[in-house]
Every structure is written in C-alpha cells, then in structure tokens.
Amino acid sequence: MLSYRHAFHAGNCADVFKHVLLVQLIRALRRKDNPFCVLDTHAGAGRYDLDSPPARKNREFVGGIDRLWHRTELSPELADYVAQVRASNPDDRLRHYPGSPRIARALLRPRDRLILTELHPAEHAALKAEFAGDRQVLVHHADGYAALKALLPPLERRGLVLMDPAYELKDEFDRLLAAVQVIHRRWATGIIAVWYPILDRAPSLRWQRTLQAMEIPALLCAELGLYPYDGPPGLHGCGMILINPPWKLDETLGRLLPELLRWLRVGERGQTRLEWLTPAP
C-alpha cells in the first residue's frame, strides 16, 4: 500500500540537498561529449504546485527552496540549482517546484536519455503527462527495484542511477542494499546516488557499515543535519550515498555542505558530514 505523496514535501530542505547534488552529478557527466543516461528509480510526479493543498498543508518549502529563492550571494553551484527551479517559474514567483525528473531533464543534451520508474498510479499518471511526447524521456509504471535488471546497464554505458525512495517500508534499507549490489554487478562504472533520511541515527549508520562491508570501492557519504541527532523524534537531517562519484565532487561538497547548512539551518546545532566509506581505487 503506497500512501506517500511527495507533494506534501516538495521543495523542503531534503529536496534542496538532494537536488543540489543531482545538479552537480549531471554537470559532471556533461563534461564528456559521450551521451549519458540517468535512471531515476523513484521519480515522483515530476513537478509540484506549491499553491496546491498538499504543499500548503505544512508549507515545507518555506524551510527549503524559499530560503534560497531571492538570495543573490549564493555560490555558483547553489545558484545553478536555483536557476533550475527558476526555469519552472518564469514570472519570478516561486509557484512550481521541479522534482528530480524535471531537473534531470533540463540538464540533458540532445543525445542523453532519462529513464523514470514510479509505482504509485496517480504519481505515474502525472509523470507520464509531464513528459508526454518527449522522446528523450522514458516513463515506466514499475517498481524501481524490480526494473533494475531490465534497465541496466544502459546502452550509453555512462550515467547515473538516482534512488530516492519514500522509506515507507520497514525493509527499505535492506532493499537498497540489494539494489546497490545488483546495480554495481551489472554496471560497475555507473554512478549510484542513494538519498536517505536521518530520523533515528542508528539505522542509517548500521546500513552504512553493511555497505562498507560489501567492499564496493569509491563510496562517499554526504550528510546535512539540521537538528541535533539526539533531539526529539523527527527528520533531523538527510544524506546521500554516492558510489563512483565524479572526480573532485568531494572537494565541491566540502564547500557546498557548510554553505547549505548556513542557508537552511534552524538552530545552532546543525552539522555536516563528508566521508569516504571506502576509498576510490
């Protein structure tokens, strides 16, 4: 039973973190001429109306994209991300928030491709409509985990798998471990980016230790914590596991994570973490 709807969370601090990294990953892929493919396994609806009742319910975007929207003193990387959001809001009012599929699509060159899988029927229908007639985008109504074997490796042999599940299921971390193994076995050079929430600290750390033990090389962990991890229950922060991250992304993130914390912070005790869990070969 799928009940998660991303419209309630669109543009929040977790989206900002995730999409800033997504822009950097695709920018890096664009540095070489050869075409690449992006597979977004948990794609969502593709674009969200921030005036809609779900988005207005908790107005989560106020603690996220809204904090950056009118800033002129952003680093070039954060300005690049905000420009992607601006492309969905030509009249300068923050009304629509582009999800990962829209952001990825905006950064494709004519020979690059985007493959999207989404399981929720209504989200899939919205996604399908969003990209109707777009020959560079393939939209599947499918389980993103189950589809991996059929979709990978992509013809281009270069690219990225973004996994951004809703963590509704108790065994989501286990599913992700299995998925990372499948992806890496089929496509050892592909970039893998897995977003995760930091609610209770222990499960995400346990998961990282298991990933480490799998001895997949080049495993980078980036985290943004906005609330103390020992504070009251809730979303304390989030992170991204990056496998085969582009060259020098660690240096870029070393600058961007503290900058993101400065813009998005809600108290004195925020924190960032950037750590190679296994070294690059």
Ligand X SMILES: C[S@@+](CC[C@H](N)C(=O)[O-])C[C@H]1O[C@@H](n2cnc3c(N)ncnc32)[C@H](O)[C@@H]1O
Which residues make up the interface to ligand X (CB under 6 A)? 2, 4, 6, 18, 41-44, 99-100, 117-120, 123, 143-145, 164-166
- Give the single-character DSSP code of 93: S
Least Å distance, CB 73 to ligand X, is 26
Least Å distance, CB 41 to ligand X, is 6
Between 118 and 223, name the residue whose CB sits nearer to ligand X.
118
Between 161 and 221, name the residue whose CB sits nearer to ligand X.
161
Residue 161 burial class via C-beta count within 10 angstroms: exposed 0-12, middle 13-18, buried 19 and up: buried
Give percent helix, percent strand, percent coil of the chain, each to the nearest 5.
40, 20, 40
Does 200 qualify as catalytic in the annotation?
no
**Among residues 175, 171, 235, which one has the least CA distance to residue 199?**
235
Between 122 and 267, name the residue whose CB sits nearer to ligand X.
122
Between 175 and 276, name the residue whose CB sits nearer to ligand X.
175
Least Å distance, CB 227 to ligand X, is 20
- 33, 91, 164, 230: the catalytic one is 164
**Among residues 226, 219, 234, which one has the least CA distance to residue 260?**
226
CA distance 133 to 216: 38
Least Å distance, CB 29 to ligand X, is 17
Residue whose Cβ sits closest to ligand X: 99
Virtual CA dihedral for 252, 261, 71, 23, nearest 10 degrees? Answer: 40
**Among residues 175, 198, 207, 162, which one has the least CA distance to residue 42?**
162
Q: Catalytic residue numbers?
A: 164
